[in-house]
Amino acid sequence: MESMGQTRKFFSLAVAAIFFIYTPASIAKELDLGRLEKKYAQVGSLEADFTQEVYQATLARTKTSRGAIMLSKPMLVRWETLAPERSVLVSNGIKLWYFTPEAGAEDKKGQAIVSPASELAKNPLIGILNGTIPIEQAFRIKSRSEKDGLHTLDLEPKKRMGDVSSAVLEVGSNYLIKQVKLIHHSGNTTKISLQKVRLGAKLPTNLFKFSPPPGTQVVEGSR
């Protein structure tokens, strides 16, 4: 009789476990990509703090930097690195400037590399954050998962996207992008984590203007 009672108890627990696994409350809600893309496509701007981790495969080391990013449509960008070394990337929609104050000639008055702003179209990170790259059109979704309200998408470009071989996108339950990780053909990885994200704020136009300081070495980039 005791054995029969234990069998019934085990059966009851097993049924309860199966019921819990398959109840709708325990099934992770799938990320609505249309809703995500619409959220970013409809706003005119984005600003956030960022932490960037770049893994350099040849040196087997990771370099971490921090700063702030500001985007305003159609293609105004200010990507300012504050630590450990300062630099700023600015696009006014026509020209793209990358300024490093401590670089350049021996006098260390800084170096500015200037390129057409159209170069930004090659950057998948800017396109995703700017809402100009439809994810399902540009990427094949290899896998998706969810844990504690954080959705993770493993993406593979459908067409060649520079040196990017794949990407991992992390999105919060509030449909804000938390992290973008780019895996490069070279073996390097670039991971951008975003904090204090604000969508739709009015950003001053002077943020997207740049004039090289006196003595700056100006270098023409790719055209």
- Provide the pLDDT confidence category of residue 105 given band limits of 50, 70 and 90: low
Question: What integer pLDDT is reported at residue 133 of this predicted model?
Answer: 85
166, β-bridge pairs: 183
Mean pLDDT, range 151-175, rounded to an integer: 94
Q: Is 168 exposed, middle or buried (0-12, 13-18, 19+ CB in 10 A)?
A: middle
Q: Which residues contact 53 (CB under 8 A, 6 or more apart)?
A: 62, 63, 64, 189, 190, 191, 193
- 76 with 93: CB under 8 angstroms? yes
Q: Which of 127, 125, 128, 152 is nearest to 141 (CA)?
A: 152
113, β-bridge pairs: 98, 219
Mean pLDDT, range 2-6, rounded to an integer: 50
Copy the structure tokens of residue 66: 């921090």
- Provide the pLDDT confidence category of residue 13 given band limits of 50, 70 and 90: very low
Q: What is the radius of gyration, based on Cα positions, of the chain? A: 23
What confidence tens digit (pLDDT) does each residue in 204-221 have? 999 999 999 988 999 998
Mean pLDDT, range 120-144, rounded to an integer: 88
Q: What is the pTM of this model?
A: 0.81
Mean pLDDT, range 22-35, rounded to an integer: 63
Q: Which of 68, 96, 86 is nearest to 193 (CA)?
A: 68
Could you tell me the end-to-end alpha-carbon distance of the chain, in angstroms, rounded to an integer?
85
What confidence tens digit (pLDDT) does each residue in 31-56 have? 999 999 999 989 999 999 999 999 99
Question: What integer pLDDT is reported at residue 223 of this predicted model?
Answer: 59
What confidence tens digit (pLDDT) does each residue in 53-92 have? 999 999 999 999 999 999 998 889 999 999 999 999 999 9
Maximum CA pair distance of the chain? 94
- Computed over every residue of the chain, the mean pLDDT equals 86
